[in-house]
Structure 1
Amino acid sequence: MHTPDFYRHFAQYVHTEMLLTMRCVSKDYRDVVERVITASFSSKRLIVHSGKSITLSLSNSKPRMERLENVTDIIFLLNCTKIGDYAFQHAVNLIVVNIPEGVTHISKNSFWGCSKLKSVTFPKSLKNIGAYAFNNCTRLSEVDLRGTGVEVIENEAFYYCEELKSMKIPDSLVEVGRFVFLRCFKLVPEGVDTKDNEAVLEHLRSQQEGGGREGDGA
């Protein structure tokens, strides 16, 4: 049985990625490595480990929220299957995100207010985009979900994505929540009611079938 002194000593010689792994698999390490994990947020690269979920626990304190504002790059480790609630909310300097294969859910508010986010790559495994997930991502310009298995897009998931010009949707999509496309000024033409999901989806599908000639910003 290792002592707390051993854990503290050991933590000095281990990379942050390994500390995150240790934190998940051994509660004995949690208190010891917590300070080291928190310190990793001071850099511009955020390394995230999770076997099942990235949760609010990564960003629920004011200091961590402040550090998230500095993050420009996210590295996902191991078998992440869910991006948890509020995981990267207010990461205002995040520009590009590559969500890894295996992730099935992007939960509520996970990228809310990432105002510089321009590009997101979605995995084939994706099934659900939660409420407010990309709300107020005001520089997001394109969303391509055709290669995914997305079935549900929840309330206001893309609300106020004012630079969004193109959204490709898969045949698997069966449920769209309220106000998903509200204030997406460049995505939906004036003649289409953004509160009418059926009308918006019909427009988006017509753009896919027509090669996006109309309303593509050309």
Structure 2
Amino acid sequence: AAHATPGEMLLRLLRSWLDESAAVFVVEGGRTTLGIDARPNSESCLGPCDTVLVASPPTSGARHVIGSARDSGTLEWSPTDARNLKTVDLSACHGLHTIGDEAFRHCASLHSVVFPPGLNALGKHVLAGCHHLFEVDLTTCPHLRSIGDGAFNNCGALETVVFPPSLEAMGQGVLYSCPTLKSVDLRACIYLHSIGPSVCARCASLEAVYFPPALESLGPSALEWCPK
């Protein structure tokens, strides 16, 4: 090793991390394990790891998901055992235009989500039941047109949702049963013409709702059981 060039030393280090059977680089550092997909043109088959560097379903041990530039189209997966998932960053996924139904539903530890900039549609119950999620900022998605039914319902700690001006339609119960939500401001959503039933129902702390100027249809029970 004394006569090895820096390039040769780096190659040796990379080879020491490569798990050929799983085609994954596995880097262990104390209590944290980083898994990186080693196959350039195939789906990920990551085993238990701390950080998943592709938008693929995390294993039960995953704490972070970081999307890659090759992730595109529709994100269609629902983590079956993602109780440890804390952050999701899809900001590099410029070709990802849809987040499918229930993608992050019941991720009880999830507290941060960064959506892809080219997002057009959020599916149903995408973040439903994420009780540690305090804020959702959708202004980083300037092309977002629709939000599906129950997208953020039953988020027990959710205080703020910032919607983009491009929004055109919101489904049923998008913010249903968010007990810490205090206000909803849709005035910047100049194209929003349709809001489904029970959109903010059972939001016990809700004090103010500002509707969009072009609203044509508001479903029943929009503010049912909002005592404040």
Asked if TM exceeds 0.5, the reply is: yes
- SS of the aligned residue for 2:42 comes to helix
Deviation of the 1:181 alpha carbon: 0.9
- SS of the aligned residue for 1:81 comes to strand
Paired residue total: 174
TM-score (norm 2): 0.66
Q: Is the 8 A contact 1:20 1:48 kept in 2?
A: no
Structure 2, gaps ≥5 residues long: 1-18, 27-33, 49-55, 209-218
Aligned to 1:161: 178
1:12 to 14, 24, 27: 24
Structure 1, gaps ≥5 residues long: 1-6, 25-29, 60-64, 201-214
- Percent identity over the alignment is 24
- SS of the aligned residue for 1:22 comes to coil
Matches within 5 A, 1:18-97: 18=37, 22-24=41-43, 33=45, 35=47, 41-49=60-68, 50-56=71-77, 58-59=78-79, 65-66=80-81, 68-76=82-90, 77-78=92-93, 79-97=95-113
Paired amino acid for 2:24: Q
More strand by share: 2
* Aligned counterparts of 1:161 and 1:20: Cα–Cα separation in 2: 41
Bigger CA radius of gyration? 2
* Aligned counterparts of 1:13 and 1:90: Cα–Cα separation in 2: 29
TM-score (norm 1): 0.68
Aligned to 1:211: none
Q: CA RMSD in A?
A: 2.9
After the TM superposition, which segments of 4 or more aligned residues of structure 1 sit over 6 Å from their partners?
A: 36-39
Deviation of the 1:13 alpha carbon: 3.6
Q: Is the 8 A contact 2:154 2:178 kept in 1?
A: yes
Task: State yes or no: 1:98 paired with 2:114.
Answer: yes
Matches within 5 A, 1:153-192: 153-169=170-186, 170-188=189-207
Quickly say closer, same or farther: Cα 1:101–1:161, change in 2 above 3 A: same
